[in-house]
Structure 1
Amino acid sequence: MPAVELTRPVKSVPMFSPELSRTLGRILTLVLLFSIGFAATPAEAATNLVKNPGLETSTAGFPECWERSGYGDQVYTSGVTSDARTGNVALKIDISSHTSGDRKMMMLKTGPCAPAVTAGRQYDLSVWYKSTTVAAAMTVFRRDVTAGWQYWTDLATLTASNSFKQKTVRTPPIPAGTDQITWGVSLYGAGTLITDDYQMIDATESVPTPTCNAGVACTKGQWKVMPYESPVRGIHAVVLHNGKVLLVAGSGNDTAAFRAGTFKTAVYDPVTGAFTNVATPVDLFCAGHVQLNDGRVLVMGGNKDYPTPDGTVGFKGLRNSYIFDPATNAYTRTNDMTAGHWYPSATALGNGDVISLGGLGEDSKGTAFTEYYKSSEKRWLAWNEVKQTWKWWGMYPTMVLMQDGRLFYTGSHTFGEGLKGTGASIYDYGTGTITDVPGLQNKDYRDQSMSVLLPPAQDQRVLTLGGGNGHTSVDANRLTDIIDLKAANPTYKPGPLIPQGTLTGGAAQTPNQGKMYVSAVLLPDGTVFETGGALHNRADPVYEASIFDPMSNTFRPRMATDPVPRTYHSSAFLLPDGRVMAVGENPGNGTFDTRISIYSPPYLFHGNRPQIQSVSSTQWAYGSTQQITVNAPVVRASLIRPAAVTHSSDPNQRFVELPMTVNGNNIGLNVTSNPNIAPAGWYMLFVHGPDGVPSVAKWVKLG
């Protein structure tokens, strides 16, 4: 909605007779009521929820309902100033020397000072400011009814301004269990910041009455199996920034193909259904892969050889590394890694570099080398240029980048038991320290579970779900675990059980049965679609799908299920049009299902899709405000990193909130200033309306 400017009251002079003035006033009132009745925001939106917004009411020389706060090491002063926009008082922070942390003025958390909020609603926060630096951000804390006060998010970075300037930004939907928020402006670098005239109004869009004539698809969604099959086995899937999908098989778990040197890759166009075969230089079966910041795909390792017939020697990992370029549909070789890696991780860092850990080496044993790809130099660093811990991290260890640059090993892995200790840990590459994280349930039975950084990435919460143990063939589990990485001492907490499904032949599962090889896909409405999996190692597919809501920490069960079984070597991932694509199925008899399934979530049956009509630029800078226009009211905007998934592992999958500054159909999107929240690269930009229906994505490049 348009920003509301706060002004000093002025003395009015009558222009009409009293009778005519009353008539005009009644007409104006009717016009206003009519407008409010049909506006996107509720009538109460005009109420300023900030206590003492102009800072004029003071106690002991400091504005009531406000407090000084901050942390870290700085030389600073903070207090009040007469350099105000209105009235006689404004807040001022001056940092003359900055080493770490920030200083801020916030609304008091005590009593009625912190505005009351309602879960699911959105609020426009507005402040007038002057700043000599860009190191200033609108910062929000929230009160959870069970966990108490906690940092929520930085909504927007402010530009420098010598004169008073207004910044208005809309919050994301208030999380479940939150009843109050407090906010202010943080100064996190040397400079001077003055703020005045705060405002907070309810800007929640009215939710239209759902209209759907698609039957059960309105609540369960709908699957469609494509009338063609993939020419390659979809072991690996990467969504490219041109909207196409890279499907990598290598030898595809086929020893005959390996002996013949028949290695396959194809690029699939979901719009036309066309496939383009790509020359594949080596066996990239069970390699690692990650999107680079320029949109190309770095592929590391793969299969040097299959196990010997007597089983005395296992799979061997390759040192080779390649870059796939969507512009040419071709691989180009980079320098080799230090060691071979079969089943390695691959995590994009905030500075554009890539770290790779784990897997099996050329000797079929666990590889303890840390591999580091220096993006600016376009090469893997030599082993002695890398900070080594000499720890083996297992196979496809899921390593999620945290907002402070450390890596969270979630406990999701492939094959066998979890690592020693608690099964989850935080790894600081800079210091080489590894700290166990407690709470992961049944850590030795999370083989081919899946972990995702829950929407939004700014919340720093990870969900781990399912898993089993491929060596012992126990029944897979229905467990989920959730962790808040912003907590002082992060600890996994049990989440809700995965909903029950059915086994092959329609037999109902017992309460203790779950699934491994599970897929979890971030959707543009901020939920997580969970699908696929099997009860046992490479056997007994489970037909179940559900949608997890991070705001309520609950599943919506009984979504439509993929008609094709999806167990070992299967993946599901988001397409730019908001649908979900699923590939793969490689049971124990060695066969492979090459059918492709496409899922349309329920939101695609709930009304017209909003459209992003224009984007001011496709090149986005951190901390910037990017302008778009839309054709209808929208309540949320996000960047979703395109998939690079295999074996229930895509540690780079993330949904980044874009707090909005709304002026009708002109939307300002406030981009995070922290590259660890959103590593540089191409993203899918989505908006969605008050009914949850998302737009088709536009591609933008961040960083």
Structure 2
Amino acid sequence: MNRQLPLFSRRDRVRLGQFLVLLLATLILLPQVPAHGSANLIANPGFESIDGGNPVCWEQSGWGTSGYSFAVTPAAHSGTKAMRVTMTTAGSGDRKAMMLENPSCAPNVTPGRQYDLGAWYTTTTPNTVLTAFRHDVAQGWVYWTDLATLPTTSTWTRKVVRTPVVPPNTDQVVWGITIYGVGTLTTDDYTMEDVTQPAAGTACSAGAACTAGQWAVMPFNSPVRAIHSVVLRNGDVLLVAGSGNNVDDFAAGTFKSAIYKPSTGTFNTVPTPADLFCSGHVQLSDGRVLVMGGNKDYPAADLSHGYKGLKNSYVFDPAANSYTRVNDMTAGSWYPSATMLGNGDVISLGGLGEDSAGTVATQYFKTAQQRWLGLNEANQSWSFWGLYPSMILMQDGRLFYSGSHVFGNGLPGSGSSIYDYTANTITPVNGLQRKDERDQSMSVLLPPAQDQKVLTLGGGNIDSNPDANRLTDLIDLKKATPAYAAGPLLPTGKLTGGVPQTSTQGKMYVSAVLLPDGKVFETGGGLHNRADPVYEASMYDPATNKFTAAMAVDPVPRTYHSSAFLLPDGRVMAVGDNPGNGTFDMRISVYSPPYLFKGARPQILTMADPQWTYGTTKNITVDGPITRAELIRPAAVTHSSDPNQRFVDVPITVNGNSVGLNLTSNPNLAPPGWYMLFVVGTNGVPSVAKWVHVG
């Protein structure tokens, strides 16, 4: 039998009306969300719910010695409450209104997805950034990234920033707005929305190239022995030989360089003023190339001396395709390091001097003065760092010596250390495996630079000449006491003639290239000193800490005096091979990674200004949805060494096809200079790079 429900009583109707009025008022006060209407994941986004004087699910966070105060203020963007943070005195540290790191308050996230983080704010100091932390199921809560620097504003302003793709093993994220200078910050109406784009079609009809990529050997040779390779700010490649490890050319004063134009496959030779064979080089902030040292003499037949280092130094100008001499270094340098600092200056360490002995001087190039400082003008530790020591700039301005070097054993002690030029201190770093078998290993600051993780791969020893190793070592430089931990082993490949390597054999002379999809392409190398090429290539994923083996293999052997590097079109170029019989392979190979076979490339349609200032937002337009943007510093590589190689994440603010790019405010993360700007589509395919100048 059907039974009717009773009608509402008059009192029930009054109560229902009151509830609907309250609900409507609440909806009016809620912050607006984008048209796609995804749910706001923030608990208590407007601070309206208070418990014990503090907004529910929020905390007063920060550290350091600066004076500060927190308050809940009625001067809100909407509703009746906002959070105010005031830093009253300058000191160390920061303060921030931050979501609580607990399961009931922290927003849940899904690995592989992206989220738009939004908040309304006013601030009286430019020292204001949006900061995010993530919960790793193995490590707990860890710092993730600073997503954007917020400009001062006295009126309520909304900032929306898109996160990078959430990495594996992350289940929750918290974030807030940080103040680290004297001033007042007020925030309100936080939003967090899942904006993951559905993946575009990834069907691929290119066969094995879809997963392994594809190599092509160019139908022309290099006109010079490519000992050194530098990608210039215009996309051309400077190839430097000097005497090219050829005693006859040295005796004849025949020193060579050439400019290779990948767009046309043509070369221009460049008059070369000295034997720049085994010099150091680094991109200066204006896009010119500082070249330091080189070869003053080959070893004497009577063994009275070995290689001697030059003091000469030059600047190569891509606009004129010519070298100009600057003042001499304070000591001879053959195989010196060269690291760009956050202030645009350059530190050079190690190498051999004019007397064939190890150079112990710290040599400092002052960019503003365009000169090398005198010996007594630079801080001196009087330490020998080896040959081509890999000195990587850290986010706090110190240098990390990774243990990668050239020739023989590593340094005494742990084989790795942190060098503070300002304090003139050296701190040992533990954990590097078989430190005396890392000759011509390679170290890279992994993508993104904000994570401050370094991977060191392979290596051997030209003196004891064991089988090169498969070791990798990983370090997190953000930790209070950084130490290496063993990473996954390099995959094995095949030797000359197709003979498989054994499970214990690895390679020295290895190359590692940062790609615009956030992975590291590992290629080339040899099993022994100037012998036994190893035909193997793999792809390392920093997010999973795993290698994907069986990438396509360069058909040209790449051992001693070889290098590989990223081109602005997203391909990888490889040059050089100088085996023990003194020959030199002049062929050029170019690798197209798998992403180039997975669909249309996104395009950067407009970019109003290529000059970028730290902590600012620059706008571009693109032709479709993208998932990320990044800056990659162009290569300056030789002997498995390019300590300045880095991939800087650029958090994005998306409004249709208009994208705001939020540059870090820390020049130690992105030292001044020219960078390749890539954007990556939802199908994982990167654009062709646009050139931007940071500084």
Q: Would you call these one fold, judging by a TM-score over 0.5? A: yes
- 1:202 alignment counterpart: 194
CA distance in 2, matches of 1:368, 1:300: 16
CA distance in 2, matches of 1:42, 1:348: 45
CA distance in 1, matches of 2:111, 2:643: 29
- 1:569 alignment counterpart: 561
Say if 2:472 is the partner of 1:480: yes
CA distance in 2, matches of 1:550, 1:636: 16
CA distance in 2, matches of 1:116, 1:258: 64
CA distance in 2, matches of 1:634, 1:559: 26
Say if 2:261 is the partner of 1:266: no
Say if 2:55 is the partner of 1:75: no
CA distance in 2, matches of 1:119, 1:341: 48
Q: How far did 1:310 drift?
A: 3.1
- 1:366 alignment counterpart: 358
Q: How far did 1:79 drift?
A: 2.5
The equivalent position to 1:65 in structure 2, one of 36, 45, 57, is: 57
Say if 2:364 is the partner of 1:389: no
**Contact 1:42/1:205, CA 8 A, preserved across alignment:** no
- 2:5 alignment counterpart: none
Which amino acid is the alignment partner of residue 353 of structure 2?
G
Q: How far did 1:112 drift?
A: 1.6
Say if 2:130 is the partner of 1:138: yes
- 1:164 alignment counterpart: 156
Deviation string for 1:626-672 (max 9, x for gaps)?
A: 00000111101000000000000000000000100000110000000
**Structure 1's 535 and 394: CA in aligned 2 closer, same or farther, altered over 3 A?**
same
Q: Which moved more, 1:82-91 or 1:525-534?
A: 82-91
CA distance in 2, matches of 1:175, 1:384: 47
Q: Which moved more, 1:687-696 or 1:293-302?
A: 687-696
Which amino acid is the alignment partner of residue 566 of structure 1?
R
CA distance in 2, matches of 1:62, 1:72: 21
- 1:579 alignment counterpart: 571
- 2:690 alignment counterpart: 698
CA distance in 2, matches of 1:42, 1:178: 28
Correspondence list, 1:582-593, <5 A: 582-593=574-585
CA distance in 2, matches of 1:231, 1:283: 17
CA distance in 2, matches of 1:458, 1:691: 24
**Structure 1's 116 and 10: CA in aligned 2 closer, same or farther, altered over 3 A?**
closer
CA distance in 2, matches of 1:668, 1:617: 12
CA distance in 2, matches of 1:665, 1:399: 39
The equivalent position to 2:440 in structure 1, one of 420, 445, 448, is: 448
Correspondence list, 1:73-152, <5 A: 73-152=65-144
The equivalent position to 1:48 in structure 2, one of 21, 40, 43, is: 40
**Contact 1:287/1:300, CA 8 A, preserved across alignment:** yes
Q: Which moved more, 1:47-56 or 1:587-596?
A: 47-56
Q: Which moved more, 1:684-693 or 1:106-115?
A: 106-115
Deviation string for 1:321-375 (max 9, x for gaps)?
A: 0000000000000000100000000000000000000000000000000000001
CA distance in 1, matches of 2:628, 2:35: 17
**Contact 2:344/2:671, CA 8 A, preserved across alignment:** yes
Q: Which moved more, 1:71-80 or 1:342-351?
A: 71-80
**Contact 2:238/2:260, CA 8 A, preserved across alignment:** yes
Which amino acid is the alignment partner of residue 488 of structure 1?
A
Correspondence list, 1:29-44, <5 A: none
The equivalent position to 2:506 in structure 1, one of 503, 510, 514, is: 514
The equivalent position to 1:540 in structure 2, one of 517, 532, 542, is: 532
The equivalent position to 1:233 in structure 2, one of 222, 225, 234, is: 225
TM-score by length of 1: 0.94
- 2:168 alignment counterpart: 176
Which amino acid is the alignment partner of residue 48 of structure 2?
E
Q: How far did 1:146 drift?
A: 1.4
CA distance in 1, matches of 2:135, 2:423: 33
CA distance in 2, matches of 1:454, 1:581: 20
Secondary structure at 2:197 match in 1: coil
Secondary structure at 2:565 match in 1: strand
- 1:224 alignment counterpart: 216
CA distance in 2, matches of 1:423, 1:147: 27
Q: How far did 1:209 drift?
A: 3.0
- 2:280 alignment counterpart: 288
Which amino acid is the alignment partner of residue 381 of structure 2?
T
Which amino acid is the alignment partner of residue 351 of structure 2?
G
Secondary structure at 1:223 match in 2: strand
Which amino acid is the alignment partner of residue 229 of structure 1?
N
**Contact 2:201/2:599, CA 8 A, preserved across alignment:** no
Which amino acid is the alignment partner of residue 153 of structure 1?
T
- 1:323 alignment counterpart: 315
CA distance in 2, matches of 1:155, 1:58: 28
- 1:679 alignment counterpart: 671
Which amino acid is the alignment partner of residue 571 of structure 2?
R
Which amino acid is the alignment partner of residue 307 of structure 2?
F
CA distance in 1, matches of 2:587, 2:26: 74
Secondary structure at 1:520 match in 2: strand
CA distance in 2, matches of 1:122, 1:696: 23
- 1:404 alignment counterpart: 396
Secondary structure at 1:384 match in 2: coil
**Structure 1's 573 and 11: CA in aligned 2 closer, same or farther, altered over 3 A?**
closer
**Structure 1's 12 and 453: CA in aligned 2 closer, same or farther, altered over 3 A?**
closer
Correspondence list, 1:300-339, <5 A: 300-339=292-331
- 1:379 alignment counterpart: 371
Correspondence list, 1:637-648, <5 A: 637-648=629-640
The equivalent position to 1:596 in structure 2, one of 578, 588, 593, is: 588
Secondary structure at 1:477 match in 2: coil
RMSD: 1.4
**Structure 1's 11 and 181: CA in aligned 2 closer, same or farther, altered over 3 A?**
closer
CA distance in 2, matches of 1:205, 1:680: 33
Secondary structure at 1:140 match in 2: strand
Deviation string for 1:384-416 (max 9, x for gaps)?
A: 000000000000000000000000000000001
CA distance in 1, matches of 2:683, 2:412: 46
CA distance in 2, matches of 1:79, 1:119: 35
CA distance in 2, matches of 1:529, 1:548: 6
CA distance in 2, matches of 1:282, 1:432: 33
Deviation string for 1:671-693 (max 9, x for gaps)?
A: 00000000000000000111110
Q: How far did 1:42 drift?
A: 12
CA distance in 2, matches of 1:341, 1:120: 47
Q: Which moved more, 1:174-183 or 1:538-547?
A: 174-183
Say if 2:344 is the partner of 1:352: yes
CA distance in 1, matches of 2:187, 2:338: 43
Say if 2:413 is the partner of 1:413: no
Q: Which moved more, 1:442-451 or 1:208-217?
A: 208-217
**Contact 1:349/1:679, CA 8 A, preserved across alignment:** yes
CA distance in 2, matches of 1:622, 1:60: 40
Secondary structure at 2:470 match in 1: coil
Q: How far did 1:312 drift?
A: 3.6
CA distance in 1, matches of 2:220, 2:364: 40
TM-score by length of 2: 0.95
**Structure 1's 11 and 362: CA in aligned 2 closer, same or farther, altered over 3 A?**
closer
Secondary structure at 1:627 match in 2: strand
Q: How far did 1:12 drift?
A: 11
- 1:20 alignment counterpart: none
Which amino acid is the alignment partner of residue 618 of structure 1?
P
Deviation string for 1:3-32 (max 9, x for gaps)?
A: xxxxx956999xxxxxxxxxxxxxxxxxxx
Secondary structure at 1:355 match in 2: strand
**Contact 1:42/1:203, CA 8 A, preserved across alignment:** no
CA distance in 1, matches of 2:272, 2:433: 40
The equivalent position to 2:654 in structure 1, one of 658, 662, 685, is: 662
Which amino acid is the alignment partner of residue 116 of structure 2?
D
Which amino acid is the alignment partner of residue 118 of structure 2?
S
